[in-house]
Amino acid sequence: MGFYIFSYFCAFIFLAAVACRVYRQLTLPVHLRWEIYPVQHEPTDKLVHGGSYMEDLNWWEKKLKSSLFNELKYMAPEILLLRGLWKENRSLWWVSFPFHFGLYLMIATFALLILHALLVLGGGEAYVAGGVIGALLGGLIVFMGWTGLILGVVGSFGTLFRRLADPALRAYSSFPDYFNILLVSFFFLSAFIACLLVDPLLIGAKAYVFGLLTGGRSLNAYAPAESVFGGAAILLASALAAYVPLTHMSHMFMKFFFYHKIKWDDAPNLRGGGIEDDILKNLRLKPTWNAKHIAADGRKSWADLASSAPKETK
């Protein structure tokens, strides 16, 4: 039960950390609006030439439209395939892509393991094992799990090597950067060895996730933690779930706010609207910048500073 208790504790930390990050993001002051186009949810042909709804006559009198399909069409290759890195730094993409995609496949495999456990609970182990759905699900779990592990091992250790060997990357890599990569690398390696030696069909993984949903109840009397590498993989996977939201690696899900609340936020600032209220709140904030020409001493508000001439400095 010790493994399950540790996993439950890490799951609690994960949920609490994600909730705190999302809450902080939602309660931050309104960002500095970019007003840079194109915005990917533009539903018309203006997206092609980088325009916006503001080109329309009397646009403020019309209902604002957006296209979720256009957003997903842009975000899917950007997030899943690292399209930006492919364009800007292709040599780094060859190790960074398998690293990230391996993590995505591990998350997807875990979701499939949960689905398998729910089917067993709903229809019985014999029903899932003997049915077509169970066979397809089992094959998909094995395929995605092994693919994710192989990509993860290659990508994580490749990324670590690039950071150590490339002077440009090494110059701005800190201790937490190396620690994060090592933690992920050890998880991939321990899980890969466990599957290779004792659990090639991921039966142990199914048993452990089933136990997570049932408070430690056994499935096929299989105890994956009895294997040294299986136990290490469980501990590292649980620790990663708790650790990721506490670090900058949380960008894998927090980038939603970057896209939708900053980069693509083109909601009109109409008189009497919510954006106007948020801007007025910002103007009442009292900054304490060190730049002498701003004279932000913590007593003057942004409204005071914006309406006065900059202070001359020598």
**Taking Cα atoms as reference points, which of 150, 135, 110, 76 lies closest to residue 240?**
110
What is the per-residue pLDDT for 86? 94
What is the per-residue pLDDT for 222? 57
For residues 216 and 211, what is the distance between their CA atoms, to the nearest angstrom? 4
Domains identified in the chain and CATH numbers: 2-35+67-263 (1.20.950.20)
Going residue by residue through the chain, which has 314 residues, state the pLDDT in tens, using 9 for 90 and above.
788 999 999 999 999 999 999 999 988 888 877 767 778 888 877 888 888 888 888 888 888 888 888 888 888 898 899 999 999 999 999 999 999 999 999 999 999 999 999 988 887 666 566 677 878 898 999 999 999 999 999 999 999 999 999 998 888 889 999 999 999 999 999 999 999 998 999 988 998 999 899 887 766 655 555 688 989 999 999 999 999 999 989 988 888 888 888 888 888 888 888 888 988 888 998 888 877 777 788 888 988 888 887 666 66
Q: 233 and 153 in contact (C-beta within 8 Å)?
A: no
What is the per-residue pLDDT for 129? 65
What is the per-residue pLDDT for 70? 86
What is the per-residue pLDDT for 257? 85
Amino acid at 8: Y
Which DSSP string corresponds to the chain? Answer: -HHHHHHHHHHHHHHHHHHHHHHHHHHSPPP-----S--TT--STHHHHT--GGGSTTGGGS-----HHHHHHHHHHHHHS-HHHHHH-HHHHHHHHHHHHHHHHHHHHHHHHHHHHHHHHHH-HHHHHHSHHHHHHHHHHHHHHHHHHHHHHHHHHHHHHHHHH-HHHHHT--HHHHHHHHHHHHHHHHHHHHHHHT-TT-HHHHHHHHHHHHTS--STT--GGGSHHHHHHHHHHHHHHHHGGGSGGGHHHHHHHIIIIIIT------TTSHHHHHHHHHHT-----S-TTTT--SSS-HHHHHTSPPPP--
